[in-house]
Structure 1
């Protein structure tokens, strides 16, 4: 969903600044990548200059915010865009008072149906509530009434990662669209376009590594590419550099840990876990990669379910702030115990 014009090698920042992030977004709905169903519906709505209330949900970095911003730009043009679109993100205060004041006041304003360039545009405004699943339940309940009352002058677009955290009265008032994680080929094409436009030196392995570590999140892939480019100025970007930047644990270390769990002693296991934690690898990342490897191992379904159940407990403990070393050691002990039954 990002167009390949983002300045990867711009020297005065390390990660995306707000302006470069916005410049890398698509300017029209046709430029949105991979989300064919959403694009088709939006194009029909744009042709008829009418739009239902929308609810976009799906994993991060798949183009939800970019899609509605591109549609708004097409509807209103650059002159009216700032007047007709109110965007509130999770970083803004969005409690019940904001819904009652800011959102309600903006929704009540009526607007004309023509643009300064003479083209017709819809006589309604758009309120975009990004990361709506982080809104409080009272704020969502207040929004329900506003959405119903101001339907003549305003359209709402709710964007979230987890649709289950949006109350039912809101979801029933919106057309729902699920955004899929981007396919590997689509990500690869966009990354290669960026590399060509920015004159970056890269290897096929490095692009494959970017796609693998980003897991369908194109924003994450572009951020990793930018970081790798900054670290390897005038040098070729390698897959090792990408893996290092992404904080992914090398496959060799994960395999070694599993081999100790299956055939080693507890003393060796203790040393291996300590080394991984001391190396600075995130316990959640180790947990994710261990899960992928355990599922592929030659274990019974009962053994796999016992291990994955323990993984769920460890994941909850880690999110609550538990000690990483002790939690990983606890998990690996269960893997060792289950493997001893084989």
Structure 2
């Protein structure tokens, strides 16, 4: 067992997103790796979090340090995007991939924290937190804290409103207009009014609509054509195209889909 003093002298932890330049590698990391300790019980440990934020020059310098001090130093390199770590550094490491947490892992911890902090959270609020987090426990807790500070009540609507995410009721209303409203001008006005009133981005509407469409029983050829048109709209939005133009294109795509379904039924 190490004492706290021994542990501190043998472990160096850095957040590479803050300290990501070659100067840190050649200075603090090299100094720690090259300095001997009076404790001979085991190797030193260097932990680099968010290492994918390091520059290529810094990563190349780190590679040489790993080679030189491999006998008495172990490196733990943590990253979100493996593709941003240079191949020469990857080849010197054993890779471990950690999947997003599942509901059974998140909910017990979330319940304990809410009880300890006296936070009132509803069942649909928990579901909303899980949906938005994508298995990221840190995002769950940050969203929980933000929602509680803003509303003092963690419900589904409050969670979505706090992070600026479209409400499920708004998406259902928009999808209902797209699927059932025959008048183009009325459909455009209704969706545009909701967008302006709720501060919704068309890209978010496309994402949520895409998720719901996959659960609907549409003819395969109609669904495929619709998804391709939605993907094209999202690409044009990302390149700077007007929201109003792409909203009109979205309505037209759904109108064509309805016509295709009607033709298939007649045949």
- TM-score surpassing 0.5? yes
Please show how residues 46-125 of structure 1 align to structure 2 within 5 Å: 78-83=4-9, 84-92=11-19, 94-113=20-39, 120=41, 122-125=42-45
Aligned-residue CA RMSD in angstroms?
A: 2.9
Q: CA deviation at 1:289?
A: 1.0
Question: Which of 66, 69, 83 is residue 164 of structure 1 equivalent to?
Answer: 83
Q: Which residue of 2 aligns with 1:275?
A: 193
CA distance in 2, matches of 1:101, 1:317: 46
Q: How has the CA–CA distance of structure 1 residues 77 and 176 changed in structure 2, closer, same or farther, with 3 Å as cutoff?
A: farther
Q: 2:166 aligns with which of 249, 254, 278?
A: 249
Higher relative contact order (CA 8 A, sep 6+): 1
Counterpart-to-counterpart distance in 2, 1:230 and 1:276: 26
Distance 1:137 1:311, change over 3 A: farther
Match of 2:252 in 1: 333
1-structure distance, mates of 2:60, 2:205? 39
Whether the aligned pair in 1 keeps the contact of 2:16 and 2:54 (CA below 8 Å) is no
In 1, Cα distance between equivalents of 2:38 and 2:251:
64
Does 2:111 match 1:178? no
CA contact (8 A) 1:112 1:123 kept: no
Q: Is the 8 A contact 2:150 2:162 kept in 1?
A: no
**What is the rounded CA distance, in whole Å, between the counterparts of 2:35 and 2:107 in structure 1?**
44
Superposed, 1:251-330 pairs within 5 Å as 251-264=168-181, 265-278=183-196, 279-320=198-239, 322-330=241-249
In structure 2, list runs of 5 or more residues that go unmatched.
Answer: 262-267
* Equivalent in 123, 129, 137 of residue 210 of structure 1: 129
Q: 1:259 to 1:182 in 2, by over 3 A?
A: same
Change (3 A) 1:144 1:189: same
In the alignment, is the contact (CA less than 8 A) between 1:203 and 1:237 conserved in 2?
yes
SS at match of 2:260: coil
Q: 1:113 to 1:200 in 2, by over 3 A?
A: same
- The one-character-per-residue Cα deviations of 1:40-91 (angstroms, maximum 9, x if unpaired) are xxxxxxxxxxxxxxxxxxxxxxxxxxxxxxxxxxx86543455421313323
Output the CA distance in 1 between the equivalents of 2:170 and 2:254.
16
Whole-angstrom distance in 1 between the partners of 2:109 and 2:260: 47
Corresponding position of 1:10: none
Q: TM-score, normalised by structure 2?
A: 0.80
In 2: Cα distance, 1:332 partner to 1:111 partner: 69
3-state DSSP class of the match of 1:212?
A: helix
Per mean C-alpha deviation after superposition, the further-off stretch among 216-225 and 246-255 is 246-255
Q: More displaced, 327-336 or 194-203?
A: 327-336
* Preserved CA contact (<8 Å) 1:108 1:153: no
CA–CA distance in structure 2, aligned partners of residues 317 and 102 of structure 1: 46
Deviations, residues 7-63 of structure 1 (Å, cap 9, x unaligned) = xxxxxxxxxxxxxxxxxxxxxxxxxxxxxxxxxxxxxxxxxxxxxxxxxxxxxxxxx
Unaligned runs of 5+ in 1: 1-74, 115-119
Measure the CA separation in 2 of the matches of 1:185 and 1:237: 20
Question: Which one has the largest radius of gyration?
Answer: 2
Tell me if the contact between 1:113 and 1:123 (Cα under 8 Å) persists in the aligned partners: no
